A and B are shown apart, each in its own frame.
Chain A
Amino acid sequence: MNTQIILAGLKARPVRTGVGVLAVALEVVLILLLVGLTNGAIADSGSRVAGAGGEIIFKNGESSYVVGMNPAVLPVKMVPEIEKIEGVKVAAPIIAQTEVGGGFTMIWGIEPTSFEAMSGGLRFIEGKIFSRPDEAVIDDRISNDKHLKVGDSLKVLNRPFTVSGIVENGKGARVFIPLATAQDMTRPDSATMFYIKLHDKKQVKAVIQRLKDAFPGRDVVDADDWLSLMFESIAPLLGLVFNVIVFVGVFIGVLVIFLSMYTTVTERTREIGILRAMGATKSFIVVLVLQESLLLCIIGAIVGIGSSYLVMAILKGIYPTLSVLIDSGWVFRAVLFAILSGIIGSLYPAYKAASQDPIEALAYE
């Protein structure tokens, strides 16, 4: 029976219902998209770093796992020493930089010979590897995103480059520039990290141990563990960012649900008076208001989830390089937060409704 009263109430005020649903949907979209974009950017960058081809990643001990944020502090002269370690086939020095704008773009400074020996080489769709300091290789997603062809000009970290080749995406960065140019832009004769290729993949653990013993203070990591280590290392920051996103989302939800339910309760003062006159208890009225708000939030959450996937598809169409990762855990949490906003936002209106004096409520015009 409550359902009939609630549904009739929602149907009788379509604008108010629509606005309430949209506001909750907006809350869900805000949470899912912002979290999804953050997670997507990190996961995409991490998986490309891990998938570059080497089995081991060698970095400075104090450097972060978010490689694009690290300074180039490893001397390139370490490469021959690393290659002397038993099991190491090749060590490729890399300078990793991140460009922010239209998403995060990872830029790697590479030395073509060692990078090819380590990764098996970039797979060219068009053009070739750079031969001049101001040439760059881009991946197909950047090419599609920015409509760039071989020979076109491109600005990388505020410096002009010419596209010399377009490669398949997935191997490290989206933009590759000569290591020497990258060093010129950061620190000479240095690298952010070394990618290490082994003679035998099965020897990863043993080689890692040997490298750690030989280079104390440096961080030597199995490339397969990179993604999880990266998430682990930025978890506190990520947690803070997500908390802010959730807080803003829930705050919007609470505010709109409060306004919506407060208006409803005021508009329906007389109806509440009728129910109270018929003997409806205060808890009956509170439950009625909360149930209506809850239904509004559930519909809003469903619309929000659908809209999030729709917006995600549209964004991916506009920005092919953009990665959005909406996982089921966050979908579940977004629904919970929407319901929570509904409950918090309708508490006072429910209390106000239940506290109405039946005589005054019946006299309300």
Chain B
Amino acid sequence: MSVLLETVDLKKTYKVGKIEVEALRGVSIRVDTGEFVAIMGPSGCGKSTLMHLLGAMTRATAGKVFIEGKDTANMNDAARTEIRRTKLGFVFQKFNLLPALTARQNIEVARKIYGKPRTQEGDAHLAEILALLQIDEKLDRKPSELSGGEQQRVAIARALTNRPAILLADEPTGALDTRNSEIVLKMFQELNKRLKQTILLVTHNPELAAYTNRLIEMRDGLVAVHAT
């Protein structure tokens, strides 16, 4: 398997008032194509900061982040925006669907932002995802008319509609009950197995790690454990 994502001695320092906080102190990880990896650690360990850097949402203080061989760590805003648009898909803890739009329109927004014309292949891919996520009959509902689990499945469909190289999921079950959490995690597994979707899941919950192929445990801004 080829290396899809790699960080090399990644550092991020924030300024909180006059105090400098080292959120990441030299993180080096590797994720291969088709992997389902969990990044786990307690609050404040730097996993969210790592997620933001892997998601090309901010610049690194030092080190490198390679996505398909391109270093995104110090790209300007426009280049990072393009990486987010073309290579990454995001799933958030609070679903983050646009409340005024229906589920279908939320997914179409992602396609619109992607900016490429619709193709039959793309439509077929989306249909497959929707069927897998079992939300194809609820697309005309607004987020407020869907359960938390359904909203999160719409958010997953939105994240995957443009075939991103990596799906980044930040505490995707944090706002769900146990039953819905299990459904969503099993769907992640299915997506990984059937569509060979690379998934990087950030969580503080050790139970979630059981659904993934590999675990990266973080502590105090550093990688503490690599485990399979």
- Residues of A in contact with B (beta carbons under 8 Å apart): 1-2, 4-5, 8-9, 11-12, 270-271, 273-282, 284, 357-359, 362
Cα distance A282–B79 in the bound complex, in angstroms: 12
Known contacts being A275-B113, A359-B52, A359-B58, is A281 close to B78, with CB within 8 Å?
Answer: yes
In the complex, the chain A residue whose C-beta lies closest to that of B51 is A359
Question: Which residues in chain B, 63-91, are within 8 Å of chain A measured between CB atoms?
Answer: 77-78, 81-86, 88, 90
Cα distance, A280 to B55, chains bound together (Å): 14
Give CA–CA (A358, B113) in the complex, Å: 15
Q: How far is the CB of A162 from chain B (nearest CB, A)?
A: 68
- CB of A347 to closest CB in B, whole Å: 20
17 chain-A/chain-B pairs, Cβ below 8 angstroms: A1-B109, A1-B112, A5-B98, A5-B101, A5-B105, A8-B98, A9-B100, A11-B100, A270-B96, A271-B99, A274-B96, A275-B113, A277-B84, A278-B113, A281-B81, A282-B81, A358-B57
Please give, as numbers and ranges, the residues of chain B lying within 8 Å of A358 by CB-CB distance: 57
C-alpha spacing A281/B112, complex, angstroms: 12
Known A-B contacts A271-B98, A277-B57; the reply to A4 vs B105 at CB < 8 A is: yes
In the assembly, what is the distance between CA of A281 and CA of B84, in Å? Answer: 10
B84 adjacent to A12 (CB under 8 Å): no
For the A-B complex with A8-B101, A278-B90, A279-B85 known, give 9 more contacts whose Cβ atoms are closer than 8 Å: A4-B105, A8-B98, A12-B100, A277-B90, A279-B83, A279-B114, A280-B85, A359-B52, A362-B92
10 interchain residue pairs of minimum CB distance: A279-B85, A8-B100, A1-B112, A279-B84, A12-B100, A274-B96, A280-B113, A358-B57, A278-B113, A8-B101
Measured CB to CB, the closest approach of chain B to A161, in angstroms, equals 66
Whether A280 pairs with B81 at a CB distance below 8 angstroms is yes
| Residues on the B chain within 8 Å of A281, using CB | 78, 81, 85
Q: Which residues of A sit under 8 angstroms from B96, Cβ to Cβ?
A: 270, 273-274, 277, 362
B72 CB to closest chain A CB (Å) equals 13
Max chain B Cβ within 10 angstroms of own Cβ: one of A11, A271, A273, A274: A274
A274 nearest CB neighbor, chain B only: B96
- Once the chains are docked, how many angstroms separate the CA of A273 from the CA of B58? 13
B195 CB to nearest A CB, Å: 19
Is B110 part of the contact surface with A, judged by Cβ < 8 Å? yes
By DSSP majority rule, is chain A's interface helix, strand, loop, or mixed? helix
Provide the bound-state CA to CA distance between A5 and B58, in Å.
26
Contacts of B114 in A (CB 8 A): 279
CB distance from B95 to the nearest CB of A (A): 10
B49 nearest CB neighbor, chain A only: A359
Q: B108 in the interface, Cβ–Cβ < 8 Å?
A: yes
Q: Are B112 and A279 in contact (CB under 8 A)?
A: no
B-side residues, CB < 8 A to A, are 52, 55, 57-58, 77-78, 81-86, 88, 90, 92, 96-101, 105, 108-114, 158
Are A4 and B81 also in contact (CB < 8 A) when A271-B98, A278-B113, A359-B58 are? Answer: no
Which residues of chain B come closer than 8 Å to A359, judged between CB atoms?
A: 52, 57-58
User: How far apart sit A359 and B58, CA to CA, in the bound complex (Å)?
Assistant: 8
Complex CA gap A357/B83 in Å reads 16
Known A4-B108, A359-B52, A359-B58; contact A279-B98, beta-carbon cutoff 8 A:
no
- Residues of chain B within 8 A (CB-CB) of A273 are 96
> CA A279 – CA B105 in complex, angstroms?
17
Q: Are A282 and B86 in contact (CB under 8 A)?
A: no
- Chain B residues whose CB sits within 8 angstroms of the CB of A2 once the complex forms: 112
Inter-chain contact B105/A8, CB cutoff 8 Å: yes
**Is B101's CB under 8 angstroms from A284's CB?**
no
Task: Report the nearest A residue to B78, measured CB to CB.
Answer: A281
Across-interface contacts of B85 in A (CB, < 8 A): 278-281
Across the interface, do B113 and A284 meet the contact criterion of CB distance under 8 Å? yes
Question: Would A278 and B98 count as touching, CB distance under 8 A?
Answer: no
Assuming the A-B contacts A1-B109, A277-B55, A277-B90, are A282 and B77 also in contact, with contact meaning beta carbons closer than 8 angstroms in the complex? yes
Q: Verify B86–A279 contact, CB threshold 8 A.
A: yes
Docked Cα-Cα span, A277 to B52, in Å, equals: 10
Which of these, A9, A278, A357, contacts B109 with CB under 8 Å?
A278
* A276:B81 contact, CB within 8 angstroms: yes
**CB-defined contacts of B97 to chain A, threshold 8 Å:** 274
Residue on B nearest A283 in the bound complex, by CB: B78
CB nearest to B101 among chain A residues: A8
A100 to B85: give the CA distance in the assembly, Å: 66
Residues of B within 8 A of A12 (CB): 99-100
Whole-angstrom CA separation of A362 from B158 in the bound complex: 17
Which chain A positions have C-beta within 8 A of B108?
Answer: 1, 4
- CB of B57, distance to nearest CB on chain A (Å): 5
Cβ of B57 and Cβ of A5 under 8 Å apart? no
**What separation, in Å, do the CA atoms of A270 and B158 have in the docked complex?**
17
CA distance A362 to B108 in the complex (A): 20
CB distance from A174 to the nearest CB of B (A): 56
Q: Are B113 and A274 in contact (CB under 8 A)?
A: no
Which residues of A sit under 8 angstroms from B77, Cβ to Cβ?
282
Measured between C-beta atoms, what is the minimum distance from A175 to chain B in Å? 60
Cβ–Cβ < 8 Å partners of B88 in chain A: 279
Bound Cα distance from A280 to B110, whole angstroms: 9
A85 and B101 CA atoms in complex are apart in Å by 82
B79 to chain A, nearest CB (A): 11
**A150 to nearest B CB, angstroms?**
66
- Bound: A8/B103 CA distance, A: 13
